[in-house]
Amino acid sequence: MKKRSGLVIAVKLVFVLSLCVLLYSAFQILKVPVEARQALQIWEKKREEAPSIYHKGEETPLPDGMVTPPEGPPPFKPAHTAGDIIGEIYLPRLDKRIAIVEGTERPQLKKGAGHDKNSAPIGAAGNSVLAGHRDTVFRGLGTLQKDDRIEVETAEGKFIYSVTASTIVDGDARGVIKQSDEAVLTLITCYPFTYIGSAPDRYLLSAVLLKDETLYRK
């Protein structure tokens, strides 16, 4: 009888120990996601307190000097100030609509595609240059093909462009985006598209104006 009682106690003890091990394992499994979330929250707080930590070394899709300056007096009088939302660009192949913002600095490029202040107004004679990040607004830009349509709308009207070519240039190149006598559009982003870190090159997509549904011109 005593032997049987001892066996029952031993079984119960093994059961209790097994249950403790199971509960401890479950606690550790649940604990990991909690700690991971806490670590992420700490980083997000640090990023908010010191934005330079996050943005240090951020790419500039359109470096200074890449657009060839016009000869003689500036032919384009800026109609907008940096940060103004001036229109929308639609890429039918990607079924993607992107806001166009005046300026190509970091604050503007966080909002959409930035219009270079030294380039032609959209739809006007000359080269209109729009810059955007490869992993946000211009994600998938490399899939556009010759003759694909690009639709751009501003307060001046709706303009339909057709893709003519694409080229890759060194990120340190200067003066590679030329002025034009006709109405053309150049989209620029960093390249290679899947490069880890600050990409060394720039991808330029060129298009020519096909149709001008002008509402008014100044």
Q: Which residue has the tokens 């070394």?
A: 57
Q: For residue 150, is it within any domain?
A: yes
Q: What percentage of the chain has pLDDT greater than the value 90?
A: 57
**Cβ within 8 Å of residue 116, ≥6 positions away:** 62, 67, 104, 129, 130, 131
- Does position 210 have pLDDT exceeding 80, yes or no? yes
Q: In terms of Cα–Cα distance, which of 123, 140, 144 is closest to 132?
A: 140
Query: Tokens standing for 132?
Result: 């955007």
Residue 33's SS3 state is: helix
| Residue 153, domain CATH | 2.40.260.10
> Looking at the domain assignment, is residue 41 inside a domain?
yes
N-terminal to C-terminal alpha carbon distance within the chain: 107
Residue 145 in this model has a pLDDT that exceeds 80: yes
> CB neighbours (10 Å) of residue 114?
28
Q: Is residue 40 part of a domain?
A: yes
Is the residue at 29 inside a domain? Answer: yes
Residue 160 reports pLDDT greater than 50 = yes
Contact 68, 179 (CB under 8 A): yes
Residue 55, CA distances (Å) to 27, 52, 104, 107, 171 in order? 37, 5, 16, 11, 19
What's the mean pLDDT in 48-61? 57
What pLDDT, on the 0 to 100 scale, is given for residue 44? 66
Predicted TM-score (pTM) above 0.95: no
* 167 falls within a domain: yes
Beta bridge partners of 149: 162
Q: Is residue 75 part of a domain?
A: no
Check whether 12 has a pLDDT greater than 80: no
- 117/185 same-domain check: yes
Same domain, 101 and 204: yes
CA angle 203, 209, 212 (to 5 degrees): 140
Q: What is the mean pLDDT of residues 179-198?
A: 94
What average pLDDT does the chain have? 82
Rounded Cα–Cα distance for residues 47 and 44 (Å): 5
Number of domains in the chain: 2
Confidence of residue 33 (pLDDT cuts 50, 70, 90): low
208 band by pLDDT with thresholds 50, 70 and 90: very high
Q: In angstroms, rounded to a whole number, what is the distance separating the alpha carbons of residues 51 and 43?
A: 11
Pair 93, 184 in one domain: yes
Q: Which domain holds residue 24?
A: 2-54
Mean pLDDT of all residues in 91-109:
95
